[in-house]
Amino acid sequence: VEDLAVSRFWVSVSPICPQGSTRKDQSCSGVQPGQTVHFNITIGQHACSDDGKDNDVVVLVHPVGYNESTVVRVHSKCGCKCRPTGRCNEDVQSPCSSQELRPDHGHLKDLNIDPNRSCRADGWNVDCSSRGVCECGKCVCEQSRLGLIFGKYCEMDDFSCPYNRELLCGGHGVCVSGECVCQEGWTGESCGCPTSPTTCQSPDGFICSGQGKCVCGKCVCDDPQHSGEFCEGCRICQIKREICKNVDCSHSLKGAEHCNITCAQLVGPIEDLSA
């Protein structure tokens, strides 16, 4: 980095060695002739120049021991353009906009306008959701070891909301201020529940066979006696039907002995009506 800009910029170099591994010590050992070493170079800016103006900075990349070098020209963005609200200097009629600025204009005359207002979401009194800084009326989100912070107000991220099926917000929403905002057709804390009851529709066309409710895409039966994916089964009902068949069989004149032998455990007196 140029001497005058060393304190304002930082440079990080990570070589990718021939084996495909990335080294943090900025060097590769045992490189053979004909092998290629790639370098990932990241350039960042700590601060703007004292005058606050945009300027170009030259970064020279020169690997030690080689006669080759690469020049990277970095254009910093430090100056703020005239904001879209307010009036220009010496012109109380003309709104301050990039299309109408004149050389002698460019700064807001109304000093009561909050320059950071555009960095706050409605109902919030902090800039950039307290997860970034407001620069030139736009949020620059901070970096987090937990994941990525993004959004107009740095209100979104990819780590603070619940996961469903190993996906943030079930893959059906975005994480905003720690809560999942689901896409259309999905609901729930982690956007894991479909809003459509289609998955609960039984073959007869009824929702849960008319004997339950569709909750998060699955049938919840009204009566614990009912069971099955669509509440179509009834264990007690099946037992009752078997008992009725056996009673009919045991009281019939035809084949009564056979019924009594095969179904004896289900046939028994209930009430004596002879009296």
164-213 residue pLDDT tens: 888 889 899 988 888 899 999 999 999 999 999 999 998 888 999 998 99
Confidence of residue 80 (pLDDT cuts 50, 70, 90): low
| Integer CA distances (angstroms), 248 to 13, 155, 169, 254, 258, in order | 89, 71, 57, 11, 13
Cβ pair 183, 173 in contact under 8 A: yes
Top-confidence range, 66-70, 175-179, 205-209, 231-235: 205-209
pLDDT band, very low/low/confident/very high, at 60 (cuts 50, 70, 90): confident
Mean pLDDT over each residue of the chain, to the nearest integer: 75
* Residue ranges per structural domain of the chain: 3-25+38-75, 160-194, 197-231, 235-266
Q: Which of 121, 140, 137 is nearest to 129 (CA)?
A: 121
**Common-topology check for domains 160-194 and 197-231:** yes
Q: Two tokens at 271?
A: 């009430």
- Cα 32 to Cα 13, 35, 69, 256: the distances in Å are 21, 6, 21, 95
Of 3-17, 92-106, 161-175, the poorest mean pLDDT is in: 92-106
Q: Residue 67 has what pLDDT?
A: 78
User: Is domain 197-231 annotated with CATH 3.90.1640.20?
Assistant: no
Q: How far apart are CA 136 and CA 83, in angstroms?
A: 8
Q: 227 pLDDT exceeds 60? A: yes
Fold of 160-194: Laminin (2.10.25)
Coil, helix or strand at residue 8: helix
Residue 102 binned pLDDT confidence (cut-offs 50, 70, 90)? very low
pTM of the model as a whole: 0.42
pLDDT > 70: percent of the chain:
66
